[in-house]
Amino acid sequence: MGLFTSTEFNSLECLLVEQLQDLYDAENRMVDALPKMADAASSPELKQAFQSHLEETKGQVNRLEQAFQLLNKEAERQTCEAMKGLVKEGEEMINAKGDPSIKDAALIAAAQRVEHYEMAGYGSARNFAQRCGRQDIADLLQQTLDEEGAADKKLTQLAEASINQAAAHA
Ligand code: FE
Ligand code: ZN
Ligand code: FE
């Protein structure tokens, strides 16, 4: 969302486009951030989870480009201040020193904030698309929403299956 410029909405489709621009910026930021998260992770499974979500995220960028195309709009980024902040928090974990398993637990905590934020964004955007009669776009957004949900579950599973236990015994 633009913080310092006023935004005007005259239709739900305008709102949908604005939300897609925000998501497009957010996803592009994650394409840059996920390789750093993968490098910073010590657990091979966590590294793998970040790398495979990076590949999914590139596909999500592509889906947003398809959605813009279906709306006959240029794919444009509008700074997502929230994702900017979440990535900044992630960087704090990436640069942290200390026990590697605790650092892994911290990286997961940062990454799950991102996944939940994305889920909120895609859920709303999908609903707007449906309301605009754009089931084609709603379907694209739902596919990404499902991937974000699966990524979040995977992180919970890694945390609970091994990483949190290792961190507790560090
Ligand atoms: Fe994403
Ligand atoms: Zn945003
Ligand atoms: Fe994601």
pLDDT in tens, 70-104: 999 999 999 999 999 999 999 999 999 999 999 99
User: SS3 sequence, the chain?
Assistant: CCCCCCCCCCCHHHHHHHHHHHHHHHHHHHHHHHHHHHHHCCCHHHHHHHHHHHHHHHHHHHHHHHHHHHCCCCCCCCCCHHHHHHHHHHHHHHCCCCCHHHHHHHHHHHHHHHHHHHHHHHHHHHHHHHHCCCHHHHHHHHHHHHHHHHHHHHHHHHHHHHHHHHHHCC
pLDDT at 79: 98
Measured distance CA(117)–CA(110) in Å, rounded: 11
Ligand closest to the CA atom of residue 85: 2
> Percent of the chain at pLDDT above 70?
97
- 103 Cα–ligand 1 center, Å: 22
Cβ-in-10-Å burial (0-12, 13-18, 19+) of 72 comes to exposed
Output the CATH code of domain 12-168: 1.20.1260.10
Report pLDDT digits (tens) over 109-135: 999 999 999 999 999 999 999 999 999
pLDDT(166) > 70: yes
Give the pLDDT of residue 7. 77
- 25-35 confidence digits (pLDDT tens): 999 999 999 99
Statement: residue 53 has pLDDT above 90:
yes
Ligand sitting nearest the alpha carbon of 154: 3
Can you give the pLDDT at residue 128?
96
**Confidence at residue 39, expressed as pLDDT on a 0 to 100 scale:** 98
Residue 115 has, within 13 A of its CA and on its CB side, a CA count of 23
Cα(106) to ligand 2 centroid in Å equals 22
Give the distance (Å) from ligand 1 centre to CA of residue 170: 32
Considering every ligand atom, which ligand is closest to the CA of 115? 3
Q: Please report, for the chain, the start and end positions of each structural domain, with discontinuous segments joined by +.
A: 12-168
**pLDDT averaged over every residue in the chain:** 95
What ligand has the least distance to the C-alpha of 77?
Answer: 2
CA of 14 to the centre of ligand 1 (A): 22
Ligand nearest to the CA of 122: 1
